[in-house]
Amino acid sequence: MLYTGQLNEFIRLAEIDATNCDLLKEKISEGLSVIWTIEELKINVDGTEHLFPANSVLFLTEYHKVEVLKVTKARMIRFNRAFYCIADHDSEVGCKGILFFGASQFPKITIPDEEMEKFEILWKMFAIEMVSKDDLQNDMLQMMLKRLLILCTRVYKEQTELTSFDKKQLDIVREYNYLVETHFKTKHQVADYAEMLNKSPKTLSNLFKKYNEKSPLQIIQNRTILEARRLLRYSDKSIKEIAYEIGYEDIQSFSRFFKKVEGSSPSEFKKAM
């Protein structure tokens, strides 16, 4: 089921099986995807194999490189920024920097048994609205999507223990993640992001110690190395072009950084694929 609007709005609802699993690899500009596994799903994302049990929910952007290895039954909701911009509507759903655009993380949740009925009802309501043809369809579909994202965000917070975080602190973490996703190609220092957030680098460092095991600098480096791996694996660009694209003025600096983090040089990584 597909809805498109007059201003390039796009949202697709699909029941996925082996016959149409190529939809999981579909690319739309500024597209975000929510994948709900009804049965076990095996995919390769950015060169890493993942096996997800039934009732997992995955959150992907257009930048994730997906290869389907095994799918029996899954559900997918894919939408673009023109349909619903999670950055513009962050005050409504609060998923920016958590479910989507969380730097190098690959967010996922497991639907709790006590929440399963809510997810099922929401999917059925979503499907009903997809075939409704009236002036309120766009608004109703946005409402359904918003409810789904709020529900998923709540579950994610519970399963990652973020509910114990002060809201203001969590908002800083989310905004930092989003800013890194937006600017990692040009800004490689924590101080750059601290300035945008009107915080000191030390404040960010202390905050992230409470949040998870990754430091603010590691988050920048992990996102940069992820992009480097994607370009080395999936593009025909030279190592020099890749270095320049992710913000390195010379290939030597990029190669040193890549080897320090990855354990091999960019050329060795490319040959090993």
Q: By percentage, how much of the chain surpasses pLDDT 70?
A: 97
Both 124 and 171 in one domain: the answer is no
Give the whole-angstrom CA distance, residue 211 versus residue 215: 9
The last residue of a domain, from among 163, 186, 203: 163
The label of the residue with tokens 């498109």 reads 4
Check residue 94 and give its pLDDT. Answer: 87
Higher pLDDT, 195 or 47: 195
Check residue 15 and give its pLDDT. Answer: 95
What are the Cα distances from residue 124, in Å, to 112, 117, 144?
18, 11, 10
The last residue of a domain, from among 112, 146, 163: 163
Sign of CA dihedral 225, 230, 233, 238: negative
What are the Cα distances from residue 214, in Å, to 29, 52, 57, 63, 117?
30, 24, 23, 22, 35
Both 145 and 243 in one domain: the answer is no
Which band of pLDDT confidence, cut at 50, 70 and 90, is reported for residue 197?
very high
Report the range of poorest mean pLDDT among 96-110, 113-127, 180-194, 215-229.
Answer: 96-110
Both 180 and 154 in one domain: the answer is no
Global pTM reads 0.86
Which band of pLDDT confidence, cut at 50, 70 and 90, is reported for residue 65?
confident
Q: Judge contact between 93 and 149, C-beta under 8 A.
A: yes
Higher pLDDT, 170 or 33: 33
How many distinct structural domains can be found in the chain? 2
pLDDT tens by residue, 133-160: 888 888 999 999 999 999 999 999 888 8
Both 158 and 247 in one domain: the answer is no
Give the whole-angstrom CA distance, residue 53 versus residue 41: 6
Both 186 and 258 in one domain: the answer is yes
Output the average pLDDT for the chain: 90
Closest Cα partner for 261 from 230, 225, 231?
225
pLDDT tens by residue, 222-245: 899 999 999 998 888 999 999 999
Torsion of CA 19, 22, 23, 24, to 10 degrees: 120
- Beta strands in 91-166, from DSSP E residues, in sequence order: 108-110
Q: Judge contact between 3 and 37, C-beta under 8 A.
A: no
CATH for 177: 1.10.10.60
Both 21 and 76 in one domain: the answer is yes
Give the whole-angstrom CA distance, residue 128 versus residue 117: 17
Token pair of 144 as six digits: 């359904």
Torsion of CA 183, 187, 191, 193, to 10 degrees: 0
Both 174 and 149 in one domain: the answer is no
What DSSP letter does each residue of 181-227 carry, written as one string?
A: HHHTTT--SHHHHHHHHT--HHHHHHHHHHH-S--HHHHHHHHHHHH
Mean pLDDT for 88-107 is: 83
Both 152 and 20 in one domain: the answer is yes
Q: Which domain holds residue 249?
A: 167-272
Give the whole-angstrom CA distance, residue 141 versus residue 127: 9
Both 53 and 124 in one domain: the answer is yes
Check residue 152 and give its pLDDT. Answer: 95
Check residue 243 and give its pLDDT. Answer: 93
Res 80 pLDDT > 90: yes
Who's near 159: CB < 8 A, 6+ residues apart? 109, 110
Higher pLDDT, 196 or 167: 196
CA 113 to chain centre: 24
Check residue 104 and give its pLDDT. Answer: 57
Which band of pLDDT confidence, cut at 50, 70 and 90, is reported for residue 35?
very high
Closest Cα partner for 68 from 34, 40, 96?
40
The last residue of a domain, from among 115, 138, 163: 163
Both 159 and 174 in one domain: the answer is no
Check residue 73 and give its pLDDT. Answer: 96
Both 27 and 72 in one domain: the answer is yes
Check residue 3 and give its pLDDT. Answer: 85
Both 235 and 141 in one domain: the answer is no
Res 196 pLDDT > 60: yes
pLDDT tens by residue, 2-32: 888 878 899 999 999 999 999 988 888 889 9
CATH for 118: 2.60.120.280
